[in-house]
Amino acid sequence: MREHKAEKPAPVPSQVPWHVPVAVEDIAETGQHFALIADAEARAGIARLAGLRDLPRLQADFDVTRQGAGGLHVTGRVSATVGQNCVVTLEPLANEVDEKVDLLFMPPAADAAGGASETDDGGADAKWDDPEPLIGGVIDLGALATEFLVLGIDPYPRKPGAVFEPPHDSQAEDGPFAALAGWTKGRGDG
C-alpha cells in the first residue's frame, strides 16, 4: 500500500468513464460519506484508459467535509483488483491497488475575488501542496477515484518468483572486433 497525501494526482483525460459529481452545497455541515462501487461498464472503460487487461473490482470510500468558504476536503481510500500481464512471463496476473486519498479542493482565487488569477491554469506559481481547484463548486469523485487508481497501478507487474533471463546464443561470439584481434596477432609486433 502506498500513501498519497496532498499530492497532485496524475492528469486523467476528460473522457473518464466514471462520474460521481458532488456539489459543495449538497454536502452537509457535518460532512458526508460516499461508498462507491464502479459498475461493469465504468470498470471496462477505466481498464481501457489505464491499459489493463481487466478491472474486476474498483471501489472508493470517501469522507467529504466542507472546508472554509466554499471548499471541500476529501479523505478516504481507493481500492481495486487489476488484471495485468507479467512483464517477464507475459502470464496474466491480478494485483491489488490500495491508495490513500487526502485532498483539499478550494475555489480558484479568481472566483473568490471576482477577478482573474495567474495560477488558475496550474502555472509557475502552483505548488504541490496547493489545494486542487474547485471549478464551479463541483468535484467528481468518480474521476478522482480513477486518478488515484492509475497512480497505484504497478507499471512493471511481475509474478512471484519470475526472473528475467536474457536469451542465450548457442554460438560462442567473441564480439564485433574478434576478426580484427586475430588479424593483429598474425602481423607481429614490429
pLDDT tens digits for the chain (190 residues)? 444 444 444 444 457 899 999 999 999 999 999 999 999 999 999 999 999 999 999 999 999 999 988 999 999 999 999 999 999 999 999 999 999 999 999 998 744 444 444 444 445 565 677 899 999 999 999 999 999 999 999 999 998 887 877 776 655 556 666 666 666 655 655 5
For residue 167, the model assigns a pLDDT of: 75
For residue 101, the model assigns a pLDDT of: 97
Considering only CA atoms, which of 71, 95, 97 is closest in space to residue 83?
A: 95
The DSSP bridge pattern shows strands 32-37 and 54-67 to be antiparallel
Tell me how far the alpha carbon of residue 82 is from its chain's centroid: 13
For residue 69, the model assigns a pLDDT of: 82
For residue 165, the model assigns a pLDDT of: 78
Considering only CA atoms, which of 11, 24, 34 is closest in space to residue 141?
A: 34
**Residue ranges per domain, the chain?**
2-187
Q: Phi/psi at 146 (nearest 5 deg)?
A: -65, -45
User: What are the distances in angstroms from CA 170 to CA 11, 88, 167, 181?
Assistant: 47, 21, 10, 22
CA angle 92, 97, 102 (to 5 degrees): 160
In angstroms, the CA 37 to CA 141 distance is 11
For residue 113, the model assigns a pLDDT of: 45
In angstroms, the CA 45 to CA 15 distance is 9
Residue 190 DSSP symbol = -
Considering only CA atoms, which of 76, 64, 30 is closest in space to residue 139?
A: 64
For residue 126, the model assigns a pLDDT of: 59
State the pTM of this model.
Answer: 0.72
For residue 130, the model assigns a pLDDT of: 86
**Under a CB-based contact definition with an 8 Å cutoff, are residues 7 and 126 in contact?**
no
Of the CA atoms within 13 Å of residue 41, those in its CB half-sphere come to 3
For residue 163, the model assigns a pLDDT of: 81
In angstroms, the CA 74 to CA 137 distance is 14
For residue 119, the model assigns a pLDDT of: 42
